[in-house]
Structure 1
Amino acid sequence: MRLVLGEFGVHVPSYTEGYAAVSERAEISGLINGAKTFWHPVEDPRELDVVTFRRGRLECHVGIVVRPGLMLHVTDDRPSCIELYRDEHWARRLTGFWRHEDLLGEVRT
C-alpha cells in the first residue's frame, strides 16, 4: 500500500518497526487504528482507497483498491495479488474503506 500510494505522491510512513512479524495482529491492529487520523471513511470506494479487514477480532489487514471490487494486497502465504474484496472469504471480514486526506479532492478516471 505504501509503495503504490507513494507512486501517486501520497506519503504513508512505514510501520514495520511497530511489529516484528505479520502474526502480531494486535500490534498491527493498533497501528492501523492509530493511523486513521490521515484517513477518511468512504462509502463508494475508488482506486487508491484502502480497504480494511478483520482477522479474528482484530482489524489487522489492508488492501488497496485497484478498481471497485478488486484490491491489491499481500498475505503471509502469498506474494502480492489482486483479489475480489466482496467474495465470500473477504466480505465477511471487511470493516471499511478509507481515503487518504491527500486524495480527498481528486477525481481519478
Structure 2
Amino acid sequence: MTAWSNNYIGIPRVQAGRSRAGVDCYGLLWLVYREVLGLELASYAGESVDAPERVEIARLVECGRSASPWREVSPGAEREFDMVVFRRGRIADHVGLVLAPGCMLHVVDETGVYRETFSSGRWRGRLVALHRHEALA
C-alpha cells in the first residue's frame, strides 16, 4: 500500500474535522489533497454538524462530485487519489479516497481512519460513483 497513507491511519473521526486532530469522511479527502498533493478543495467545514443533517451532507457530496473539478471515472479504472462515493440508505453521503483499485482510505466511526476494500464486502453494493480531480487527469 502507498506509504503516504500510513500517516493518516488512526486519525479520529470528528464531525466537520479538517485537521490531523480529527476528520470526517470529506475532511480526510480535503486533508490528503492539501498535504500530499498540494491541492486546495472547498472545505465545507461547519456545513455539516451532526447525523440528522445527512441530507445536507449528501447535497454537498453531490455538488462536489458532479461539478468541476471532478470528472467521473469508470469502475475498474480508478487509481490512487480518486474519490469514491457511497450511499448509506438512500442518500449518497459518504466518500473515501482510493489507494489502489478496490481499496480505499476512509473514516466512518470511532475506529478512525483506516483502509478497507470497496470492491467486495459491505461497500460494494453502496458504490455510487468514482471521480478524479481534474488536476490528476
TM-score (norm 2): 0.71
Q: What is the aligned partner in structure 2 of residue 41 from structure 1?
A: 72
Name which of 7, 12, 15 aligns with 2:41.
Answer: 12
Partner of 1:85: 118
Q: CA separation in 2, counterparts of 1:94 and 1:32?
A: 13
Amino acid at match of 1:63: G
CA shift for structure 1 position 23: 4.7
CA deviations 1:47-75 (Å, max 9, x no partner) are: 00000000000000000001111100000
Output the amino acid matched with 1:19: S
**Mapping 1:1-109, distance limit 5 Å:** 1-6=29-34, 7-36=36-65, 37=67, 38-43=69-74, 44-104=77-137
CA distance in 1, matches of 2:111, 2:105: 12
2-structure distance, mates of 1:24, 1:35: 17
Alignment partners' CA distance in 1, 2:51 and 2:114: 17
Uncovered stretches (5+) of structure 2, i.e. residues with no partner:
1-28
Aligned length, in residue pairs: 104
Q: CA deviation at 1:35?
A: 1.4
Is the 1:54–1:60 contact (alpha carbons within 8 Å) kept by the matching residues of 2? yes
Q: 1:23 and 1:73, CA in 2 relative to 1: closer, same or farther beyond 3 A?
A: farther
Gaps of 5+ in 1: 105-109
- The CA deviation string for residues 16-67 of structure 1, in whole angstroms up to 9 with x for no partner, is 2211124521011000111121211011100000000000000000000011
What is the alpha-carbon root mean square deviation over aligned residues? 1.2
Pair 22,48 (structure 1): closer, same or farther in 2 beyond 3 Å: farther
| 8 Å contact kept, 1:22–1:76 | no
Moved over 3 A (4+): none
Q: Distance in 2 between matches of 1:71 and 1:25?
A: 22
